[in-house]
Amino acid sequence: MFWKSNKIQEKGKGISSWSITTQLVVLYTLSAAVILSLTTGFLYWILENNIENADQRFLNDKIEVLKSISDETHPGFERLKEEVQWEVEAYQFNRYYARVLSSDGEILIETPNMLSILPVSIFSRTNDGMQSAGDTREWKSADGQQYILMSDQVAPSRGGNGPRFVQVALNVSSQQQILAEYFHALLVVLGIAILFSAAAGAFVARKGMKPLAEITKTVKLISASKLQKRTQPDRWPSELTTLARAFDEMLDRLESSFKRLRQFSADLAHELRTPINNLMGETEVALSKTRSAEEYREVLESNLEEYNRLSMLIKNLLFLAETDNNRRKLSKTVLSGLNVLEDIAEFYDMLAAERNIRIQLHGQVDISADPSLFRRAISNILSNAIQYAPNDSTINITMFRNNGRTHIKITDQGPGIPTEHIPKLFDRFYRVDNSRSTKLGGTGLGLSIVKSIMDLHGGEITISSQTKEGTTVQLIFPAL
Amino acid sequence: MSILIVEDEPKTVSYLKKGLKEAGFNVEVAKDGEQGIELARKNTPDLLILDVMLPKKDGWEVITDLRNGNLNMPVIFLTAKDPVEDRVRGLELGADDYLVKPFAFSELLARIRTLLRRRSEEFSVNNPLRVSDLKVDPIRQKVWRNGETIDLSQKEFQLLLLFLRHIGEVLPRNMIIEKIWDMHFDPGTNVVDVAVRRLRSKVDEPFESKLIHTVRGVGYVLEEQ
């Protein structure tokens, strides 16, 4: 995604850094391969088992027959002998061999040529060359033919014969070959199926990701100069509407900060223009002809006052820049609200007394705040209040706790602020009444500074005002 | 008293040198960090004014070098750099004070005098102070002028005491705010002017000769003229 920072992409070198399409295709193909392999493997296993079982049953049947007729006294013995002779001819495909041995190893009945292909000893499992009962094994001859060998013992008969041994064998080479061919065919089919599923996965993934590519294209069209463009959330599949909406909201915020930033730059230029204009003008006029030392002094003094204003402006702007960039570290301590307010009220006491303004404090709560920033915030608000309070009035400062949060209300009995100005009061350089405020010498940053101090503390500032009744500024600090 | 200025910006050097010479100091100038260390070692000035951004060796290196070489004269850092972390770093490395540009020259002067005074003659606080016909007893908090008792409020008395401890020195407004109200930022109000006006109305106005004088754009000074 295009807004993902390079850092994250560099960090995630695993699968999660692949494109979503690749991830989808790979995962889809992998799961298809696993499922297909399991299925074909299972089918092959069933087939192989069935064939083996059939062979086993065939040989078992033969052994049973041989066992029951292996007695020469049995009326069917000669018939069996013949059958064994010519049965070979009947089984062209599955060559089957049978042999009956007497207890001392003499061959009683045998399929022709059997001895040369399958010697007696290969059926044996015991060291003494004797046959063990009910034995099945697989065997490969020197010319590569596969056999299943089975042998069994026949209990001594009533006719006085000793124990007999029966040996049967089945050539399963052709079955093995069929299985092998089947296995190869399955592999080929499996390979093709996996390739197809990969292709299908790629197609589906690409189709699925298409809206993302489109939304990216839309987003790319948005630049600083075209911030009013939006992604239009309703156009997209439901999964993307949330993203699109969040993105649009981010754009709203960006647009308004951009607007404020632009306004701020313009205001800053304006703010600098006036004092610098004064400085240039005054200096130029002073230099335009020879003057007395007293006059030069006058000009320099006046300039110094302008410089001080500029210096104050720079200090305040730096303060705001530091808090904006979160570069200022809070050193919070628990303060007695009343003590701090008393100190600040004392500072403003003479100023207020000049115009017979009383500052009254009510309540006491402890506040967790950075002492110097807290003093600065209160000081800025109180100095505003004194500026706008009429002569012979009272400024009330009330502290209380509500739901664990600390409230400090500073109320003056001034002319109030028209409602339409209130939301803009925290904007930098915003002045309700331009001519008046400049004359009072503020930098127009006082409330912005209070606001950023409150932001740093995770608190709030609200202003409410009633025309002709006064203004209340409320600072709300989060719970201790 | 001698002061070494280590600063590479010519205009700054020029006005600092002029101002400090006129305030009665012997001034030497080094244009980079290396020269600064060399001159500080050779002449052991009473105080160092050190810029942070310097060619060859920066202010941090200079002060580290000097402190390691057991040169313990007071050092005031001057900087245009972001103050928050730098201030802490400067003070940790052994700087005695820290001024961020733009600063008022009067403030620099006041801080230099405070540092030098702290090092040499400790101010005797408790003796009666006297200028012209003004007499102040700091212990009993009494003020007389021309034989008449003058009643001052607590803050007015503190302010007068501050002036008397800096006779003939221009006190910038923020220094007054710092010393009297313990506020370490400039609230941008005219509280100081109001306070001085009230003090004057009691100490100066009823009398022929004026002692407290305004230095426009800078602050106030108490002296016999």
Nearest Cα of chain B lies from the Cα of A409 at a distance, in angstroms, of 20
Nearest Cα of chain A lies from the Cα of B215 at a distance, in angstroms, of 9
pLDDT at A436: 46
Contact B183/A at CB under 8 A: yes
Q: Is the pLDDT of residue A34 over 90?
A: yes
pLDDT at B218: 85
| pLDDT band (50, 70, 90) for residue A89 | low
Q: What is the mean pLDDT of chain A?
A: 81
Contact B176/A at CB under 8 A: no
3-class secondary structure, A367: strand
- Which member of A304, A346, A350 has the closest CB to residue B198? A350
Q: Is the pLDDT of residue A150 over 50?
A: yes
Q: If you average pLDDT over residues A57-80, what whole number do you get? A: 76
Q: What is the largest CA-CA distance in chain B?
A: 62
Contact B186/A at CB under 8 A: yes
Q: How does pLDDT run across A453-470, given as a tens digit for each residue?
A: 898 888 889 988 888 888
Query: Nearest 5°: phi and psi at B103?
Result: -130, 160
Q: Do A348 and B189 touch (CB under 8 A)?
A: yes
Entry pTM:
0.61
pLDDT at A42: 92
CB atoms within 10 A of CB A173: 17
pLDDT at B102: 83
Q: Is the pLDDT of residue B173 over 80?
A: yes
Q: How does pLDDT run across A95-142, given as a tens digit for each residue?
A: 788 888 777 777 877 887 777 778 877 776 554 545 555 567 788 887
3-class secondary structure, A472: strand
Greater confidence (A135 vs A277) lies with A277
pLDDT at A73: 67
Q: What is the mean pLDDT of chain B?
A: 84
| pLDDT band (50, 70, 90) for residue B49 | very high
Token reading at A62: 């033969």
- Which member of A372, A380, A383 has the closest CB to residue B184? A372
Contact B216/A at CB under 8 A: yes
Q: How does pLDDT run across B76-95, given as a tens digit for each residue?
A: 988 876 666 677 777 778 78
Q: What is the largest CA-CA distance in chain A?
A: 160
Closest CA to B12 of B50, B48, B43, B47: B50
Contact B181/A at CB under 8 A: yes
Greater confidence (A20 vs A303) lies with A303
Q: CB-side exposure of A165: number of CA atoms within 13 Å?
A: 20
Q: Between helices B154-165 and B191-203, what is the axis angle to 10°?
A: 90
Q: For the residues of A411-434, what is the DSSP string, one character each? A: E--S----GGGGGGTTSTT--SSH
pLDDT at A408: 92
Q: Is the pLDDT of residue A38 over 90?
A: yes
Q: Are A218 and A248 in contact (CB under 8 A)?
A: no
Q: Is the pLDDT of residue A77 over 70?
A: yes
Q: Is the pLDDT of residue A6 over 50?
A: no
Q: Is the pLDDT of residue B123 over 60?
A: no
Q: Is the pLDDT of residue A205 over 70?
A: yes
Helix extents (H) in chain B: 10-22, 33-43, 59-68, 83-92, 105-119, 154-165, 173-181, 191-203
pLDDT at A92: 59
Closest residue in B to A386 (Cα–Cα): B189
Q: How does pLDDT run across A160-191, given as a tens digit for each residue?
A: 666 777 888 888 888 888 888 888 998 998 99
Query: Nearest 5°: phi and psi at B47?
Result: -155, 150
pLDDT at A7: 44
Q: How does pLDDT run across A379-435, given as a tens digit for each residue?
A: 999 988 888 888 899 999 999 988 888 899 999 888 888 888 888 888 888 777 655
Q: Are B95 and B63 in contact (CB under 8 A)?
A: yes
Please state the ipTM of this predicted complex. 0.73
